[in-house]
Chain A
Amino acid sequence: MIIGQIKDGIVLDHITAGKSIEIYEILGLGKLDCTVAMIQNADSAKMGKKDIIKVGKVIDLDFTVLGYIDPGITVNVIRDGKLFKREHLTLPEKVTGIIRCRNPRCVSSCEQELVQEFRLTDPEKKIYRCVYCDSEAPSIINK
């Protein structure tokens, strides 16, 4: 299968195999007016299998969201057909507005317009806790 190189755009590499559809949806890539290619189960020396997403346009990405969902992703920014910048994502220290606290006793379940906020408490086990009630966040995709 041949998917051409992009001139200006973004390549999300080293996506955990099978996660590209979720990332495509969460990042709202379906709403873009440019070429978007999604490659699933590509061979990877490092990972065995991986997914790749190519976006034919340089867009603003929420690295916090991306890092939370799949911290192993590499973000390559391509300009004039060349690698302009490469970012290796890490788990963000703080995640806001992405996940909801499931504790019915938490103030975030009822306080008007309160932004959901979680902090990374255990990087090794990828555990996030609600800043308000300390409840553990629902498991993340690549946990």
Chain B
Amino acid sequence: MRDLIDIMELSAEEIDGLIKTALDIIANPGKYAESCKRKKLATLFFEPSTRTRLSFEAAMLELGGSVIGFSDAACSSASKGESVADTARVIECYADIIAMRHPKEGAPLVAARNVDIPVINAGDGGHNHPTQTLADLLTIYREKGRVDNLTIGLCGDLKFGRTVHSLISAMSRYTGVKFVLISPEELRVPRYIVTDVLEARGIEYEETSDLDAALPKLDVLYMTRVQKERFFNEQDYLRLKDSYILTAEKMKTAPEKMIVMHPLPRVNEISVAVDEDPRACYFKQVRNGKYMRMALILKLLEVKI
């Protein structure tokens, strides 16, 4: 039984397979309605989340399975000092698959190493968020018709933005992909992403702090929120939080076929006026996330349709 802790554990072929399954789910939802009957998903959310948790729950329910879990560490035995390993071992007695979000980086790996059922990383601190990447990839595929030969601008908090790290790693396996990394100096993408992923694979990239200059050359603009919860120092957060705001005015300089993505929640980095722009895809991303999580659950539970 496999887990999904890091998006790189999935080969490009496996990701293509998940996209294919998700597209089939979209086209034929009835075919999958009872595919996980009598299977239970445990959503272990040690950190607040609305979208991801509900997306996992909706995904499992639409597959005919059921859901148990908690959405706040205070409601779990972690508040009594229980280790991640022990929590996972206990949950394994009740559930067939685990989706875990945890503020500590690597916590889902600890869980996966201690249980025999599949564990899905639903976000670990500022580290990885592979199922968001699956949602992103399906969105790019559906909107652009391909996931290769694209110039992707990533904007905002590229340091702590785990969705950004996973997306760069995943996209860097496709040919002809270029990255424009747009952030303040303090929130640049971690060096290991640059050295181990971009430079190691010879991927074309540029680092800039100028969103306006970058916009006209992008096929995809991926905006991110500066996350208050990742800062130890509130002063730094306040100074950086409004570094980039995408407005309807700015969108006038963007290519006609560029799409705007955001893992959500947004605070004010995308003006509400942009929502009406047909290039805004962030709510489509949410829906796509559910389909990809459905495809992933089917794969990890080895359900044959």
Contacts and interface: CB of A to CB of B under 8 A. Distances in A.
A130 B85 CA distance: 18
B11 interface: no
Interface string B20-47: 0000000000000000000000000000
A125 to B, nearest CB: 8
A114 interface: yes
A131 B105 CA distance: 10
Given A107-B107, A111-B110, A134 B127 contact: yes
Interface in B111-157: 124-127
A37 B168 CA distance: 52
A109 to B, nearest CB: 7
A68 to B, nearest CB: 19
B19 interface: no
Contacts of B192: 121, 129, 134, 136
Interface in B57-105: 83-85, 102-105
B254 interface: no
Contacts of B125: 105, 133
Nearest to A109: B104
B105 A132 contact: yes
A131 B106 contact: yes
Interface in A98-140: 103, 105-112, 114, 121-122, 129-134, 136
A60 to B, nearest CB: 27
Nearest to A104: B232
B188 to A, nearest CB: 16
A105 B105 CA distance: 6
A110 B106 contact: no
Given A133-B125, A133-B127, A134-B127, A107 B106 contact: yes
B109 A106 contact: no
B196 A106 contact: no
B49 interface: no
Interface in B187-221: 192, 195-196
Contacts of B127: 105, 133-134
B83 A105 contact: no
A109 B109 CA distance: 14
B110 A105 contact: no
A134 B193 CA distance: 10
Nearest to B105: A133
Interface in B235-253: none
A132 B85 CA distance: 13
A107 B105 CA distance: 5
A106 B104 contact: yes
A21 to B, nearest CB: 32
Given A132-B105, A133-B125, A134-B127, A107 B110 contact: yes
Nearest first, the 5 A-B pairs at minimum CB distance are A132-B106, A133-B105, A107-B104, A107-B106, A112-B83
Given A114-B85, A132-B105, 10 more contacts: A105-B125, A107-B104, A107-B105, A107-B109, A107-B124, A108-B106, A109-B104, A110-B104, A111-B83, A133-B125
10 contacts: A110-B104, A111-B83, A111-B85, A111-B107, A112-B83, A122-B196, A131-B106, A132-B107, A132-B110, A133-B125
